[in-house]
Structure 1
Amino acid sequence: MKNILSGFLLLMINMVHPQLQKVEKVIDSCVKKDNFNGSVLLAKNGKIELLTYQGLSNRHYTVPFSDDTRFHIFSLTKTFTAVLIMQLYEKGKINLDATISTYYPEYTGEASKKATIRNLLTYSSGRANKDISSPELIHQAYDNTIWNLDDFISTYLSEKLIDPPGTKFSYNNGDYILLGKIIEKIYHKPFEEVLKEQILIPLKMGNTGFLHHNDIIRNIDEGYTADESDVFQLHMPTNTYIDNFYSAGAMYSTPKDLLIFDQAIFNHVLFGKTTLETMLTPSKKLEDTALGFWVYPKKFGSVNTLFVERQGEGYGHSANWVHLADKNLSLIILSNTKDIRYLNKMRERIIIAYYGQ
């Protein structure tokens, strides 16, 4: 019996290793041919099968990436915000189909009594997309001023409706900033404190947190961008007041911490199965947008799966988080040089290689 078991284990190792070797070849190609700089984590059933760091976290002092590196994750923050909302939903403290004014009566935007919490979660509030609609507005909203949250909301997020709520997808930070404010109103605490108490401390995510522009965060990465004409000429983008991204994009984390968060969501640690099903139910008319994720069926060669994804990008940083819901496969790619378009292609190459296609 022992010999049979040993032979079976050896067979399994031989089956798995070629898969991972193919994945490693894809990553090596991305490094050598495309100058990929960052980290890749691949996990099956919550167990890390591959974790690699490629390149430099800080080019001023030639600091390589490592387990200690903390990455800016920008819009991956939105899923943390969505989870906090879903926890309130499960506890009966928030109705997803109640309007903004129910929990935030001081809000003066036209969406107040018309747009719902669900509309905010799916970027379908109908507000004019004023906060990220143009480079000029991005500069005004996030680079020039350290905004008081209420002032930011009144200046950028209280405009008139241009679409009936729930009818049109329009990606923006503002809907999730309003969700952060609603979380504060319900808990009577700053968003950052709620985040710690409800997610980071219970899950022991010690390398994840909320950023302020003047924080000194040990081992945090720097972001770099490249001119399209020459990918090898990197430069640092304009500094930003990260605080202004708030509950839509002001967090940092690590690949291992993000895997903890991933597993806590999909294994019903942070809320139950029924709540997860609600969170992962997409709206086809809103471009497969679920609550904090995009969810849709996808095929990789002969492999069919339910694809759950979240992306983040800003000021030289990009993040890509994928969970194959029916296979409990998690893929997290973080970079401080590549954009989302590149990471989207890279993730597909990795998944195809993993399944031997």
Structure 2
Amino acid sequence: MPPTDLESLARTLHDTAVQQDFSGAISLDADGDAVLAQAYGLADRAHGIPNALETRFGTASVSKGFTALAIHALIEDGSLELDTPVRSVLGEDLSVIDDGVTVQHLLEHTSGIGDYLDESDDLESTDYVLTVPTHTLANTESFLSAIDGHPQVSPPGERFAYNNGGYIVLALVAERVAGVGFHELVARRVFEPAGMTATGYLRLDELPGDAAVGYLGIGDRTNVLHLPVRGNGDGGAYTTAGDLSRFWRSLTDGRILPQPTVAEVLRPRRTVEEEGMRYGRGFWIDLTKPDPILIGGDAGVSIVTRFDPATRTTMTIVSNTPDGAWPLYRAYRNS
């Protein structure tokens, strides 16, 4: 987009944010040069703390992109291959997973495994969806009790079905192969090379002062009982709008992975008609443009961030409410 178009888009996003009483942050920049960078609403309603550009927000499924990159980093090392059967790493754990499921199937949501958090069930963000106490889900191995026992739904490779549990399995595989904890692995292989100094997997029950509390849309009730106490392979990192801009530029410049590998990660493999997008490995891609997109929605979280490789423009909308980002993203798409 030329500068005049970006300035018009910035005005549209800002005006929509004001009209919608938006709570969160918006960032629009051209190759790192800000066109719009503004925060709105409160990060902590009980204490009247406003959101700021430095506020860290939950990212929900945006984190799947980080997981996919960590997996590909291990593939680059030779520790894994795309066709590695996950059974060879899981051993006797998660015995209901078909022996034919590979790393590639999980990355591309074609594994056919049963999902512990099936989004086709039309869940509300206020639902209590976890079947184990949220405080127990603090590390990757602890998720075994949550994701086990969900029977295989379809043969591996047969069809695309967005799957949260599959990305927890990827985190398990990555952790066991790398010999370090998943959170440390992603920090080393993704956040550090990208210069994402404010990004990490925070505990919901001890959020630092610069992190936004997630609100459910029911009074001032928070999301602390609705999500794992610490995010993992399928979601839950905290980040800033500025870090996401650095992320996209670092990714496409080859600072996280070699550029040919990045091109494979972002290559569309499935058109998902009901979402109006295509899917690569951990990343959505616009239906008609090469723009990669990361989207997350959960209790107290809504976020979309996308990158235009032609103009190196990054657009991020992040909110600490479950629906706050979507009216702004609609305004973006209609502009």
Aligned match of 2:321 in 333, 337, 354?
337
Alpha-carbon distance change, 192 to 149 in structure 1, aligned in 2, over 3 angstroms: closer
- Name the counterpart of 2:270: 284
Query: C-alpha separation between the residues in 2 aligned to 1:169 and 1:137?
Result: 26
Q: How far did residue 168 of structure 1 move?
A: 2.1
- Name the counterpart of 1:179: 170
Alpha-carbon distance change, 179 to 213 in structure 1, aligned in 2, over 3 angstroms: same
- Name the counterpart of 1:347: 329
Residues 282 and 296 in structure 1, CA contact (< 8 A), matched pair in contact too: no
Alignment partner of 1:118: what SS? helix
Alpha-carbon distance change, 148 to 106 in structure 1, aligned in 2, over 3 angstroms: farther
Residues 265 and 282 in structure 2, CA contact (< 8 A), matched pair in contact too: yes
Q: What is the percentage of aligned positions where both structures have the same residue?
A: 23
Deviations 1:214-263 (A, max 9, x none): 43423110122336xxxxx6643462453464221121010111111111
Please identify, of 305-314 and 266-275, the stretch whose mean Cα deviation from structure 2 is larger: 305-314
Alpha-carbon distance change, 146 to 86 in structure 1, aligned in 2, over 3 angstroms: closer
Q: How far did residue 285 of structure 1 move?
A: 5.6
Alpha-carbon distance change, 147 to 190 in structure 1, aligned in 2, over 3 angstroms: closer
Please identify, of 103-112 and 43-52, the stretch whose mean Cα deviation from structure 2 is larger: 103-112
- Name the counterpart of 1:225: 216
Alpha-carbon distance change, 63 to 181 in structure 1, aligned in 2, over 3 angstroms: same
- Name the counterpart of 2:292: 308
Q: How far did residue 175 of structure 1 move?
A: 0.6
Please identify, of 326-335 and 198-207, the stretch whose mean Cα deviation from structure 2 is larger: 198-207
Aligned match of 1:202 in 193, 197, 220?
193
Residues 164 and 234 in structure 2, CA contact (< 8 A), matched pair in contact too: yes
Aligned match of 1:253 in 239, 243, 246?
239
Please identify, of 237-246 and 53-62, the stretch whose mean Cα deviation from structure 2 is larger: 237-246
Residues 94 and 149 in structure 2, CA contact (< 8 A), matched pair in contact too: yes
- Name the counterpart of 1:265: 251
Alpha-carbon distance change, 320 to 211 in structure 1, aligned in 2, over 3 angstroms: same
- Name the counterpart of 1:70: 56
Q: TM-score, normalised by structure 1?
A: 0.81
Alignment partner of 2:279: what SS? coil
- Name the counterpart of 1:130: 116
* 1:1-357 equivalences in 2 (<5 Å): 16=3, 18-132=4-118, 138-141=129-132, 143=134, 145-146=136-137, 149-150=140-141, 152-226=143-217, 235-237=221-223, 239-243=225-229, 245-284=231-270, 288-298=278-288, 305-339=289-323, 343-350=325-332, 353=335
Alpha-carbon distance change, 241 to 282 in structure 1, aligned in 2, over 3 angstroms: same
Please identify, of 313-322 and 143-152, the stretch whose mean Cα deviation from structure 2 is larger: 143-152
Residues 107 and 158 in structure 1, CA contact (< 8 A), matched pair in contact too: no
Query: C-alpha separation between the residues in 1 aligned to 2:310 and 2:170?
Result: 29
Alpha-carbon distance change, 243 to 106 in structure 1, aligned in 2, over 3 angstroms: farther
Number of equivalences: 325
Q: How far did residue 117 of structure 1 move?
A: 0.7
Q: How far did residue 66 of structure 1 move?
A: 1.4
Query: C-alpha separation between the residues in 2 aligned to 1:326 and 1:348?
Result: 22
Query: C-alpha separation between the residues in 2 aligned to 1:344 and 1:244?
Result: 25
Alpha-carbon distance change, 21 to 286 in structure 1, aligned in 2, over 3 angstroms: closer
Residues 167 and 285 in structure 1, CA contact (< 8 A), matched pair in contact too: no
Deviations 1:287-309 (A, max 9, x none): 622111112443xxxxxx32311
Q: TM-score, normalised by structure 2?
A: 0.86
Which residue type is aligned with residue 171 of structure 1?
Y
Residues 63 and 236 in structure 2, CA contact (< 8 A), matched pair in contact too: yes
Please identify, of 21-30 and 184-193, the stretch whose mean Cα deviation from structure 2 is larger: 21-30
RMSD of aligned Cα (Å): 2.6
Q: How far did residue 206 of structure 1 move?
A: 2.0
Query: C-alpha separation between the residues in 2 aligned to 1:112 and 1:289?
Result: 23
Alpha-carbon distance change, 53 to 313 in structure 1, aligned in 2, over 3 angstroms: same
Q: Larger Rg: 1 or 2?
A: 1
Structure 2 unmatched runs, 5+: none
Alpha-carbon distance change, 26 to 225 in structure 1, aligned in 2, over 3 angstroms: farther
Residues 167 and 286 in structure 1, CA contact (< 8 A), matched pair in contact too: no
